[in-house]
Amino acid sequence: ACSTTAPTEKVLFEDDRGSVALQTIANPSIQASHPISLEPSLLALLLRGLEIHDHGIGPHRRVVEGFAGQPATYPLFSEDQIRFLAPLLAEGLRTATANQAIEYRVVTTREGSNRLQSSIKETTSGSLYAHGRELYVILSQFRHNPMRTNLDVGDIAYRSQEPLDYSGLRYRTLSFTPKAALRTDSPDPPTMDKSTDRFVAVDYQLLDQATRAVKTNSRSTETLTQEMEALRQELESIKKQLGNQNQQQK
């Protein structure tokens, strides 16, 4: 975890899918805008916009120098995880105090490729808090799996170059779309303790406005399509009527 947060104070919910809890913000200079009421649907948009950018290097991704693999960008959370987290994060923001952040953790279970391989559990975790109009999303661990770390422990060539990465983020970055809601010039960024900690600051009002604009444009396009289709059908009807009249005149 990053230095912004301290040990968990109160667990709001926990099951096999993960957990959401309240924790004290370790940095006393940070005063969050809590409690705050935000709709789970808005938080779902926030979670859906979070993306991981994989640089394609590191252990188990070895490439010949000068021929690095192409980086890939993909969603941080699955749709199931978003449905799990959004209402719980909304509850956390509603009940947290000004000196608390909302800690989140989701667990992904991956089945073995054959009957001899056991299932693998991967953990993604971090925290969230509101400050002014911004939501700070901190990612401290991504798809962490102890088995994979143990493989790194045995990789003497890798260990001789750099310490083990327990976060899964050393060769990954966190991004967000739509860019219009992203605050890259945030005046009060969280203090990061580890170089692998990642965060984004999102203006939730701009996110809501951008989403509404997309929906409005989508509806406008749909309406225009419907109007064009109605006009086409009307023209076809007129042509048919004219054809009938010509037949009758003959």
Kindly state the helix (H) or strand (E) to which residue 51 belongs, with its residue range: strand 50-54
Edge-to-edge order in the sheet of strand 100-110: 5-15, 18-25, 100-110, 120-131, 134-144, 198-203
CB burial string 210-244: b at 16+ within 10 A, e below: bbeeeeeeeeeeeeeeeeeeeeeeeeeeeeeeeee
Residues 6 or more apart from 185 whose CB is under 8 A from it?
none
- The helix/strand/coil state of 121 is strand
Please count the other Cβ atoms lying within 10 Å of the Cβ belonging to residue 21.
Answer: 21
For the chain, where are the alpha helices, taking DSSP H only? 40-49, 79-95, 146-153, 156-159, 204-249
The three-state secondary structure class of 156 is helix
pLDDT at 233: 79
- How far apart CA 41 and CA 44 sit, in angstroms, is 5
Q: At what angle do helices 204-249 and 40-49 cross, to 10 degrees?
A: 90
pTM: 0.75
Secondary structure class of 239 (helix, strand, coil)? helix
Residue 176 pLDDT:
96
Q: What is the 3-state secondary structure (H, E, C) of 133-155?
A: CEEEEEEEEEEECHHHHHHHHCC
- The burial of 7, by beta-carbon neighbours within 10 Å (0-12 exposed, 13-18 middle, 19 or more buried), is given as exposed
Per-position pLDDT tens, the chain of length 250 = 344 566 678 999 999 999 999 999 988 888 999 999 999 999 999 999 999 998 766 654 544 444 455 568 999 999 999 999 999 999 999 999 999 999 999 999 877 666 666 778 899 999 999 999 999 999 999 998 876 554 544 444 545 456 677 788 888 999 999 998 999 887 777 776 677 889 999 999 999 888 777 666 666 566 667 766 777 777 777 777 777 766 666 6
* pLDDT tens-digit series, residues 170-219: 889 999 999 989 998 877 777 766 778 899 999 999 998 887 776 666 66
